[in-house]
Structure 1
Amino acid sequence: MQRISITECPRDAMQGIRRFIPTEVKAAYIQLLLKVGFDRLDVGSFVSPRAIPQMKDTAEVLKRLDTSANATQLLAIVANVRGAEEAVTYTDVGVIGFPFSVSETFQLRNANSTLAQALDTVREIVAICHVNGKIPLVYLSMGFGNPYGDPWSPTIVVDYMDQLFKMGVRDFALADTVGTSTPEGIARLYRYVAGTFPGVALGLHLHSTPSESRNKLIAALDAGCTRFDTALRGFGGCPMAEDQLTGNIATEALLQLLYERGIDAGLDGDAWAEALRYSNEVF
């Protein structure tokens, strides 16, 4: 099997917590995670502080990080062009992520824009990224269905991907925003999308209840997925979805499964243990 690429998601883990986590604690936690050796770290977002108050200090957190001896890419989330313009000014941020929902209802709820407007936004963000040497990453939010009754099918997902691909996007993550996916659905959609777009970097950003996480990871690995978004201890989820039952898939659940299959994740175990201990200060 190919090497497994893991994006650790402290931003997604922290963003829904009502108690404001001190900036120095966030920065210390992310600094510890940098030592672990993840491929990417989802460190923060440049969005309205009214929408996500917890992330209002992302710029200050970035200024406190020492990335001089690290190969981990830093990822920041944006919701509009203004956010992208700010994010690209930070040298350490190499990847700019944009959540594009295949559900019109959720796109309005999450970013206050229609799907047509979101496509225009992505076009501008891609141009900004290319000029500034950043990688544009698009999350296909509600990629496995949604509770809002909007039209959904694998064909709809692929149609939107095709439009985004033609804009120059080459990094995608199929995102199960509210935990509606099943192992069978994950395998089916991943194989379909990967077969349709063999040249893209295609990952999975799954939200799940802890009891369902393992079977979903097994299905994804068996379908050929080599790129996963996870969060230490399974914290987080999407605050805009208002679903308290689902969170991120725990990084340790993925690591355990990889260990059982004899797959080396290439991470520093001592640094991981240190970050795990410090997480009690964060959460």
Structure 2
Amino acid sequence: MTVNNQTPDETRRVTIREVGPRDGFQNEPETIATADKIRLINRLGAAGFKRIEIASFVRPDVIPQLADGVEVLKGIDLPSDVDRLVLIPNSKGLDNALAVRELFDSAALFVSASQTHNLKNINRTVRDTMDDVKRMGRRIVAEGIHYAAVVATSFGCPYEGAVDMERVFDLAEEFVDSGATEIGFGDTTGMANPAYVSRFFARAAQRLPEVELTAHFHNTRGQGLANAYAALEAGCRSFESSFGELGGCPVPAGSTGNIATEDLVSMFHEMGVHTGLDLGAVIAAAREAQQTLGRRLTSHSIVAGPVLWETGDPAVTCLDRSPAH
């Protein structure tokens, strides 16, 4: 079977982590009911996601929207093969997370490649953060938890401008030395462009050959999907995105959301790239998030739906002719 004249290639298979329940919701001003979060996460699991970022163990007074993280983790009902990821900001957050160790599978630690952004975001220097990472990483590995790491502002900083690529990889290697097996590179304020992304992931594969490399793009300047395509062509096979294009960095102002999961999945399916996801169900989950928030979200697929492919039978329309999962 072909998809839009593209022959499916079994080697072009990607994984997508849905980060909406954490990264997507964290900047929402109106409190989202715990029951609504649980229902939406369960829908994501039913849509085929094998990786979902669910909660953060940040102080409730810092991000009140995520204060119910433990309740959400306790309330969700996901298939057993879904990886439940939580974000850990510091050693105190790790203490709190380990107190409910049975509720999650993966933990992510993070730093910004930009000193200024790191100070504004978590009020710590990059070096202080990485010193803490070394201690936390050992504890995470000892608990048998999948350890992921994130380098924010990997593609540019709104305060400092260009960020040296090799500096980003130096930080990534420190995470790997502390036990991380996955490194996510965050385009935190949407400053990446496809040409740079292509060079970046080609070099990342050289510097980190045994590590899972994950691309995390924001759509602040409308280049998110183009950047995802460039990363794919450079060999990246792991991506993060948020339903409805929700999210954004708390600092600075104007940093809009992640690339929309439903748009990313739609693009990949049109290209014959395997995702393991039910696009119709992904769009339905995004539309439910829109209804829950009571405002129109900005993804294209929420409005347009999936591409309609004619099956040859006038009585049947196939909503998604992506390759079999």
Q: Specify whether residues 148 and 138 from structure 1 end up closer, same or farther in structure 2 by C-alpha distance, changes over 3 A only.
A: same
Match of 1:102 among 109, 113, 122: 113
Match of 1:15 among 15, 26, 48: 26
2:258 aligned with 1:248, yes or no? Answer: yes
| Structure with higher helix content | 1
Give CA deviations for 1:113-166 in whole Å, capped at 9, x if unaligned: 111111111112211211211112111101011121277211111222222222
Q: Which residue of 2 aligns with 1:187?
A: 198
Match of 2:97 among 81, 87, 97: 87
Q: CA deviation at 1:219?
A: 0.9
Q: Which residue of 2 aligns with 1:115?
A: 126
Q: Specify whether residues 231 and 72 from structure 1 end up closer, same or farther in structure 2 by C-alpha distance, changes over 3 A only.
A: same
Q: CA deviation at 1:204?
A: 0.7
Match of 1:223 among 216, 234, 239: 234
Matched-pair identity in %: 31
Q: Which residue of 2 aligns with 1:75?
A: 85
Give yes or no for contact 1:77–1:97 (8 Å, CA) kept in 2. yes
Q: Which residue of 2 aligns with 1:212?
A: 223
Q: Specify whether residues 270 and 252 from structure 1 end up closer, same or farther in structure 2 by C-alpha distance, changes over 3 A only.
A: closer
Give CA deviations for 1:174-207 in whole Å, capped at 9, x if unaligned: 1010001111111111111111111001101111
Runs (4+) off by over 6 Å: none
CA RMSD of aligned residues (A): 1.7
Q: Specify whether residues 46 and 199 from structure 1 end up closer, same or farther in structure 2 by C-alpha distance, changes over 3 A only.
A: same
| Higher Cα radius of gyration | 2
Provide the secondary structure at the position in 1 that maps to 2:148. Answer: strand
Q: Which residue of 2 aligns with 1:55?
A: 66
Provide the secondary structure at the position in 2 that maps to 1:209. Answer: coil
Query: Which runs of 5 or more structure 2 residues have no equivalent in the other structure?
Result: 1-10, 294-325
Q: Which residue of 2 aligns with 1:276?
A: 286
Amino acid of the residue matched to residue 3 of structure 1?
Answer: R
2:203 aligned with 1:163, yes or no? Answer: no
Amino acid of the residue matched to residue 13 of structure 1?
Answer: G
Cα distance in 1 for partners of 2:15, 2:94 equals 24
Amino acid of the residue matched to residue 34 of structure 2?
Answer: T
Provide the secondary structure at the position in 2 that maps to 1:91. Answer: helix
TM-score, structure 2 length as denominator? 0.82
Q: Which residue of 2 aligns with 1:176?
A: 187
Q: Which residue of 1 aligns with 2:311?
A: none
Cα distance in 1 for partners of 2:161, 2:282 equals 40
Cα distance in 1 for partners of 2:253, 2:81 equals 35
Cα distance in 2 for partners of 1:119, 1:236 equals 25
Give CA deviations for 1:92-121 in whole Å, capped at 9, x if unaligned: 311111221111111111112111111111
Q: Specify whether residues 104 and 150 from structure 1 end up closer, same or farther in structure 2 by C-alpha distance, changes over 3 A only.
A: farther
Q: Specify whether residues 154 and 28 from structure 1 end up closer, same or farther in structure 2 by C-alpha distance, changes over 3 A only.
A: same
Give yes or no for contact 1:42–1:75 (8 Å, CA) kept in 2. yes
2:272 aligned with 1:262, yes or no? Answer: yes
Give yes or no for contact 2:245–2:257 (8 Å, CA) kept in 1. yes
Matched pairs, number: 281
Provide the secondary structure at the position in 1 that maps to 2:288. Answer: helix
Query: Which runs of 5 or more structure 1 residues have no equivalent in the other structure?
Result: none
Give yes or no for contact 2:190–2:224 (8 Å, CA) kept in 1. no
Q: CA deviation at 1:274?
A: 3.8
Amino acid of the residue matched to residue 93 of structure 1?
Answer: F
